[in-house]
């Protein structure tokens, strides 16, 4: 794929530096500009896919740049950066053609996610949902959406194990996206150009499942009028995904164990073993350890499967992802049913955030599809939701209703702790890279020393004694 070019426009050097680091880590070519005039000069000399621009800058602001981009460079996707005080202007920018906006303070993960979504709409990316700036830019995570710390850990783990051939066991409740993770393991492996075969161990009877897995010889049983290749043969050199493996019969568990150990299988009715080269990925919503204790799951198979476990959190444990999931589903179903993207009332957002989601992401997707189908203008109301969700209004955050901006502001509030962690890590990293010299660290990140001290005090970061004395002197001089 050709290089992706991003122009970042902001009058603050620290914002430019942070955006550059996050986007360059994804393999993008990034050019920075500190004014609208400088940005226009770069636009004349370079071709860009995305422009990320601050709304409020000296002399000319982001709205002026947006209008020029819409008229002269309509192919460029524009993302606006806004502070809380200019949130209404940000909403107006969406109406004028901006793709999206980011509310300060935003994390590198939020920036990367929004840029990838813009590139997806532009047709420049296969998948926009790789959200952690530290992961390789070419990893593919189709439709796995989330930027919570729990999901970022899942993304990181998949990126580490995908390149190997080790067996993977995905553990999670129904509706958490286990098959999507299995597909991500396959798509990022050396086997990606070969078959990804899905077998649902729950829906097939043991006899039928055995025939489907191993294949059968002509005449091996009544109705076997011809030989049939099994999944072990079809998935050869690819990936075999056994979904709900906890429902596999005890007899088939033993036969599967032999295939894993010997990489050979024998078709039903056959006598000659055949070789298979598969990468095995399994998934379950059951506690296999307890099943081993009760004697319903083979201990030897359990340890063969439990090489690399990936735990998928239920939606109720990553509610900070609900706004971004809702936004994705709203756009998806509005496009599918050729309707405008609906606005959501404040009460609807409270309902969605307070509900426990026993059906997880699948239930949320179905809920949003139902609301999108019934939407006829105005905004989505609690009455457009299933009855059990309507009851979950509870306490809310007092958001201004009527736009997708509600979701972004709620996302900001929910992720405040995560953002603070990133900010603290940013300060510690700058200090450790410069031997805990506050002056050098502040200069390196483009901040005034007094502002950098303020962050140090905010996070109770311990400084060497000499630096504490300098801070005290600086504070005294500033006060006078």
- The pLDDT tens digits for 392-417 are 765 443 333 334 444 555 545 544 55
The answer to which of 56-60, 115-119, 165-169, 317-321 has the lowest mean pLDDT is: 115-119
The answer to which of 206-215, 302-311, 407-416 has the lowest mean pLDDT is: 407-416
Report the pLDDT value the prediction gives residue 168, as an integer from 0 to 100: 94
Task: For the chain, give the number of residues.
Answer: 480
> Quick count: other Cβ atoms within 10 Å of Cβ 347?
19
Spatial separation of the C-alpha atoms in residues 335 and 152, rounded to whole Å:
28
Q: Is the pTM of this model over 0.75?
A: no
Res. 137: pLDDT tops 80: no
User: What single string gives the DSSP state of each residue in 274-327?
Assistant: EE---EEEEEESS-HHHHHHHTSS-HHHHHHHTTEEEEPPPGGG-GGGHHHHHH
Q: Are strands 196-200 and 239-243 parallel, antiparallel or unpaired?
A: parallel
Report the pLDDT value the prediction gives residue 132, as an integer from 0 to 100: 36
Closest by CA position to 5, among listed 38, 31, 42: 31
Closest by CA position to 141, among listed 129, 132, 151: 129
Report the pLDDT value the prediction gives residue 202, as an integer from 0 to 100: 87
| Band of pLDDT at residue 366, cut at 50, 70 and 90 | very high
Report the pLDDT value the prediction gives residue 133, as an integer from 0 to 100: 36
Can you list the positions of beta strands (E) in 64-137? 77-82, 100-103
Type and span of the H or E element at 371: helix 360-374
DSSP 383: G
Instruction: Delimit the CATH 3.40.50.300 region(s) of the chain.
Output: 162-313
Strand partners, 169: 282, 309
Type and span of the H or E element at 32: strand 29-33
In angstroms, the Cα distances linking 239 to 88, 307, 377 are: 49, 16, 45
Structure tokens at 350: 């409270």
Fold for 318-405, please state it: Helicase, Ruva Protein; domain 3 (1.10.8)
The answer to which of 18-22, 139-143, 179-183, 461-465 has the lowest mean pLDDT is: 139-143
Q: How many degrees, rounded to 5, is the angle at CA 212 between CA 183 and CA 221? A: 175
Mean pLDDT of 28-46: 91
| Band of pLDDT at residue 281, cut at 50, 70 and 90 | very high
**CB crowding 113-127: b at 16 or more within 10 Å, else e:** bbbbbbbeeeebbeb
Spatial separation of the C-alpha atoms in residues 190 and 181, rounded to whole Å:
16
Mean pLDDT of 58-75: 87
Structure tokens at 385: 């939701």
Angle between helices 62-72 and 87-95 (to 10 degrees): 10
Closest by CA position to 172, among listed 304, 283, 282: 283
In angstroms, the Cα distances linking 66 to 50, 100, 168 are: 12, 12, 47
Instruction: Delimit the CATH 1.10.8.60 region(s) of the chain.
Output: 318-405
The residue ranking higher by pLDDT, 344 or 273, is: 273
> Quick count: other Cβ atoms within 10 Å of Cβ 427?
20
CB-count exposure of residue 379 (10 Å: 0-12, 13-18, 19+): middle
Mean pLDDT of 162-185: 93
Fold for 416-479, please state it: Arc Repressor Mutant, subunit A (1.10.10)
The residue ranking higher by pLDDT, 414 or 211, is: 211
CA 476 from centroid of its chain's CA atoms: 46
Report the pLDDT value the prediction gives residue 472, as an integer from 0 to 100: 58
User: In this structure, are residues 37 and 58 in contact, taking their beta carbons and an 8 Å threshold?
Assistant: no
Q: Which CATH number fits domain 1-133: 3.40.50.1820, 3.20.20.100, 3.30.1490.190, 3.40.50.2300?
A: 3.40.50.2300
Fold for 162-313, please state it: Rossmann fold (3.40.50)
Closest by CA position to 124, among listed 136, 134, 138: 138
Spatial separation of the C-alpha atoms in residues 403 and 398, rounded to whole Å:
14
The answer to which of 113-122, 167-176, 314-323, 407-416 has the lowest mean pLDDT is: 407-416
Instruction: Delimit the CATH 1.10.10 region(s) of the chain.
Output: 416-479
Instruction: Delimit the CATH 3.40.50.2300 region(s) of the chain.
Output: 1-133
């Amino acid at each position: 794929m050709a290089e992706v070019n991003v122009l970042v426009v902001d009058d603050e050097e620290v914002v430019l530096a942070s955006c550059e680091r996050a986007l360059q880590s994804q393999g993008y070519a990034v050019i920075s500009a500190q004014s609208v005039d400088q940005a226009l000069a770069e636009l004349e000399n370079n071709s860009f896919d995305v422009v990320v621009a601050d709304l409020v800058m000296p002399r000319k602001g982001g709205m002026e740049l947006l209008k020029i981009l819409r008229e002269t460079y309509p192919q460029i996707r524009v993302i606006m950066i806004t502070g809380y005080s200019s949130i209404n202007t940000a909403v107006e920018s969406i109406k004028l053609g901006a793709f999206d906006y980011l509310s300060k303070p935003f994390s590198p993960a939020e920036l990367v996610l929004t840029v990838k979504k813009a590139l997806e709409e532009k047709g420049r990316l296969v998948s926009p949902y790789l959200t952690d700036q530290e992961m390789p830019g070419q990893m593919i995570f189709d439709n796995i959406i989330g930027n919570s710390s729990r999901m970022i850990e899942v993304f990181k783990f998949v990126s580490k194990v995908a390149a190997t051939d080790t067996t993977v066991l995905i553990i999670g409740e129904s509706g958490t996206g286990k098959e999507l993770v299995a597909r991500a393991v396959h798509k990022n492996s050396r086997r990606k150009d070969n078959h990804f075969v899905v077998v649902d161990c729950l829906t097939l009877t043991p006899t039928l499942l055995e025939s489907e897995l191993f294949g059968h010889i002509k005449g091996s049983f009544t109705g076997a009028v011809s030989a049939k290749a099994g999944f072990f043969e079809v998935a050869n050199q690819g990936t075999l995904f056994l979904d709900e493996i906890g429902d596999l019969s005890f007899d088939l568990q033993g036969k599967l164990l032999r295939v894993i150990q010997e990489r050979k299988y024998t078709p039903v009715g056959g006598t000659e073993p055949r070789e298979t080269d598969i990468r095995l990925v399994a998934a379950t919503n059951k506690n296999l350890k307890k099943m081993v204790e009760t004697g319903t799951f083979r201990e030897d198979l359990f340890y063969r499967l439990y090489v690399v476990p990936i735990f998928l959190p239920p939606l109720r444990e990553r509610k900070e992802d609900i706004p971004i999931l809702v936004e994705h589903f709203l756009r998806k179903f509005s496009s599918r049913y050729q309707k405008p993207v609906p606005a959501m009332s404040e009460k609807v957002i409270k309902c969605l955030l307070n509900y426990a989601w026993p059906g997880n992401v699948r239930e949320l997707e179905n809920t949003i599809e139902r609301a999108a189908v019934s939407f006829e203008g105005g905004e989505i109301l609690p009455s457009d939701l299933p009855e059990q969700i309507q009851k979950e209004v509870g306490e809310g955050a007092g958001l201004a209703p009527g736009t997708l901006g509600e979701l972004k502001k709620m996302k900001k509030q929910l992720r405040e702790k995560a953002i603070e962690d990133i900010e603290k890590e940013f300060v510690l990293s700058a200090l450790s890279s410069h031997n805990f010299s506050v002056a050098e660290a502040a200069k390196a990140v483009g901040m005034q020393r007094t502002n950098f001290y303020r962050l140090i005090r905010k996070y109770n970061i311990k400084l060497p004694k000499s630096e504490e004395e300098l801070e005290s002197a600086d504070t005294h001089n500033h006060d006078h």
